[in-house]
Amino acid sequence: MNKYFVLASGVVAVAFAAIFIRLADAPSLVIAAYRLSIAALVLSPIAWLRTRKEIRRLSRRELLLAVASGAFLALHFGLWIASLDYTTVATSVVLVTATPIFAAVASYFLFKERVTARIITGICISIAGAVVIGFTNWQAGGQSLLGALLSLGGALAVTGYLLIGRRLRQNMGLLTYIFLTYTTAAVCLLAVALISGLNLSGYPSMTYLWFVLLALVPQLLGHSSLNWSLRFVPATMVTIAVLGEPVGATILAFFILKETPAVMEISGGVLILLGIAIAFTAPQMVNPKSEA
């Protein structure tokens, strides 16, 4: 299976997340908890049949790293979904996908992944596009600023999740990894929601439909595709590819939520795609590991 096709499919799937979240009539923590809980429940019977032997063979360190990765994932969703209450889809999704900056630096020190001048150029162009898209929303201040800060916090958290995943996925099966991380994230989010006194029931029937779609499309299809890619593509490249999410989310928001993108947002989208194209033509970033 072509690694870049799987990666692109994952980016398209996660682009639907912001739309489903906006349509769900529930607090952000509840949305996040349902998203991960449903995904974990769907995976549970499959994981029990196919991965229980592998899970038993895992070292304590590997289990702790998987739990830490799940905790980062929970923090990411908790912060990012909350940001959508305060700012536009375009701004929120752009800022939460600003992870290449953090991932490139961390990957260099942790994994000795070479970051060439071409990769840096692609990152800078994509980030410039992200800044352009969010510029008009930053000017609003107040709640928009809070939403932006929450999105950036989500970007930092997902960087930790992707970097740990990059390390674990070298020797750990995809199903084992996503089952452990999604389950950990679900438990963390459910615990925080309950401690916060939020109700987990009593929402409109359509909201439960959005919960299910969130779990199936952006989570199981989208995030699982990104996690599969981590075995064959450096973490920096995965985060660069995810910069395509704001473009897809902005287009979907226009047609579904009637959020019309500004000229600046369209221009930023072009820059993001250009940066991705430049970064992906760097031969040094091709991972030598087999795709089998």
The Cα 73–Cα 161 span in angstroms is 6
| Higher-pLDDT residue of 7, 145 | 7
Mean pLDDT value across residues 5-27 = 93
| Higher-pLDDT residue of 181, 86 | 181
Q: Which of 280, 252, 275, 8 is nearest to 132 (CA)?
A: 275
Mean pLDDT value across residues 184-210 = 96
The Cα 138–Cα 145 span in angstroms is 6
pLDDT of amino acid 44 = 95
φ/ψ bin of 2: left (φ > 0), alpha (ψ from -120 to 50), beta (otherwise): beta
Q: What is the DSSP letter of 1?
A: -
pLDDT of amino acid 96 = 82
Q: Kindly state the tokens that stand for 166.
A: 């990059």
The Cα 89–Cα 115 span in angstroms is 30
Give the range among 129-138, 183-192, 212-221 with minimum mean pLDDT.
129-138
pLDDT of amino acid 285 = 47
The Cα 71–Cα 67 span in angstroms is 6
The Cα 110–Cα 89 span in angstroms is 32
Give the range among 150-159, 190-199, 272-281 with minimum mean pLDDT.
272-281
DSSP 203-239: --HHHHHHHHHHIIIIIIIIIHHHHHHTTTS-HHHHH
Q: Taking all residues of the chain, what is their mean pLDDT, rounded to a whole number?
A: 86
DSSP 121-184: HHHHHHHHHHHHHHHHHHTT-THHHHHHHHHHHHHHHHHHHHHHHHHHTTTS-HHHHHHHHHHH
pLDDT of amino acid 282 = 61
The Cα 133–Cα 261 span in angstroms is 9
pLDDT of amino acid 207 = 97
Radius of gyration of the chain (CA): 18
Dmax (CA) of the chain: 54
Q: Kindly state the tokens that stand for 286.
A: 């091709």
**pLDDT tens column, 94-137:** 778 777 777 777 777 777 777 788 888 888 888 888 777 667 66
**pLDDT tens column, 250-259:** 889 989 998 8
**How many Cα atoms are found within 13 Å in the side-chain-facing hemisphere of 279?**
32
pLDDT of amino acid 194 = 95
Mean pLDDT value across residues 141-164 = 85
**pLDDT tens column, 224-253:** 898 888 888 877 778 778 878 888 888 899
| Higher-pLDDT residue of 113, 216 | 216
Residues contacting 48, CB < 8 A, separation 6+: none
- In this prediction the pTM is 0.83
Give the range among 24-33, 82-91, 129-138 with minimum mean pLDDT.
129-138
| Higher-pLDDT residue of 288, 162 | 162
The CA-based angle 251-32-193, given to 5 degrees, is 150
pLDDT of amino acid 139 = 63
CB contact at 8 A, 87 and 144: yes
